[in-house]
Amino acid sequence: MRFLLVLPFAAWLAGCGPSGGAEKKGGPGGFGPAEVSVFTVEAKSLPASFEYTGQTVGSREVEVRARVSGILLKRNFTEGRPVKAGESLYTIDPATFAAALARSEADVAAAAARYDQAQRNAARLKPLYAEKAVSQKDYDDAISAENIGAADLKAARARLVQDRLNLDYTKVEAPISGVASRSQRSEGTLVSGPDMLLTTVVQVDPIWILFGVPDNEAGRIRREVEAGRLQLPKGGSFEVEVRLSDGSVYQKKGKLNFSDIKVTPATGTRESRAEVPNPSGALQPGEFVRVILRGAVRPNATTVPQRAVLEGPQGKFVYVVSDKSAAEARPVVLGEWAGNEWIVTEGLKPGDRVIIDGLMKLGPGAPVKVAEAKPEAKPAAKQ
């Protein structure tokens, strides 16, 4: 943390001299005006950023479970390695399900034969019934047998579809592309169906970063926006920069894709989430990183160098050169850092000349002389 300069002896220095204070035409102790350097305040737009601690998580984390029960015959993937969507991860013994499928195929064939027979019977009785050669009951029975045969065929075909699905489900496939986790079950295990977790697949490209925005900071940002001191990017589309634990900056930029309106009682923060491209897998789930949100702007911001800000009994202040060429103590309210300067939210206006050098010689009301700016040294001509 950077510390503000404290001048505990400023009052004593201002009281030196024959009159007990600074003379009207001289500096402290009867000397001439103190020579000082100044910084002229001007309004300018400054980029604003916000930094928080976050943790990486997979953008999708899917549990892999079997849809049927049976003996686990084989694991078909390497733990901790990437897998593709649809890739076979496990094989469950298919023998029982193949037998059930064959039985269902036979049931469909039998139901289809019975339905065909019922259709032929109803077709033969229809002209006979029209000539009153058969009774109403015989004709109704034939029509009912035809309808029952159609329903039985539909039921047999539904069982066939179910048994075909069950056989397909003996191949447990990856639901998404990602990185497979550790296998929870080994070959030979009796898998009891969906209630048994086999492994998980985590999608790491893109990767998500979860972080919390303190409620008090969110309130401060909201107040600055309402006061016109801060402009957020349109639609809250912040650009996200990630700083890794070793201090380096991750090469890919991301975006903010979620901000909750609810405050988490346990932490007093609003959960937010960033999405960052991760094609090489450099970011792994569970890492702690720093999330930097960029894209906000402070319009018409005023700043002063850090060394110009002093600390007094009444709070922070700076010395400005008054119209009478005297040092005037000006209380200020500071905001955030902007490089090596403080953002001043209250106390200064464009055009004010803030004293930045020669502060050790000053007291309130002391006469000052602004030093002329030294010309920049010209580079030496090449021989």
- Domain ranges for the chain, please list them: 5-46+300-370, 48-59+204-298, 62-202
Rounded CA separation 160/153 (Å): 10
pLDDT the model gives residue 2: 39
| Per-residue pLDDT band at 374 (split at 50, 70, 90) | low
Higher pLDDT, 207 or 11: 207
In this structure, the dihedral spanned by the alpha carbons of residues 319, 321, 326 and 330, taken in order and rounded to 10 degrees, is -40
Evaluate if residue 228 carries a pLDDT over 70: yes
Evaluate if residue 342 carries a pLDDT over 60: yes
Evaluate if residue 93 carries a pLDDT over 90: yes
Evaluate if residue 382 carries a pLDDT over 90: no
pLDDT the model gives residue 283: 93
Higher pLDDT, 2 or 347: 347
Q: Which residue has the tokens 């107040």?
A: 223
pTM of the model: 0.70
What's the CATH number of domain 48-59+204-298, 3.40.50.920, 3.40.50.720, 2.40.30.170, 3.30.70.100?
2.40.30.170
Mean local confidence (pLDDT), 157-170:
96
Does the fold of domain 62-202 match that of domain 48-59+204-298? no
Mean pLDDT (the chain, rounded): 87
CATH of the domain spanning 5-46+300-370: 2.40.420.20
Rounded CA separation 185/178 (Å): 19
pLDDT in tens, 230-288: 999 988 889 999 999 999 999 999 999 999 889 999 889 999 999 999 998 899 999 99
pLDDT the model gives residue 372: 66
Point out the least confidently predicted range of 6-20, 248-262, 301-315. 6-20
Evaluate if residue 5 carries a pLDDT over 60: no
CATH of the domain spanning 62-202: 2.40.50.100
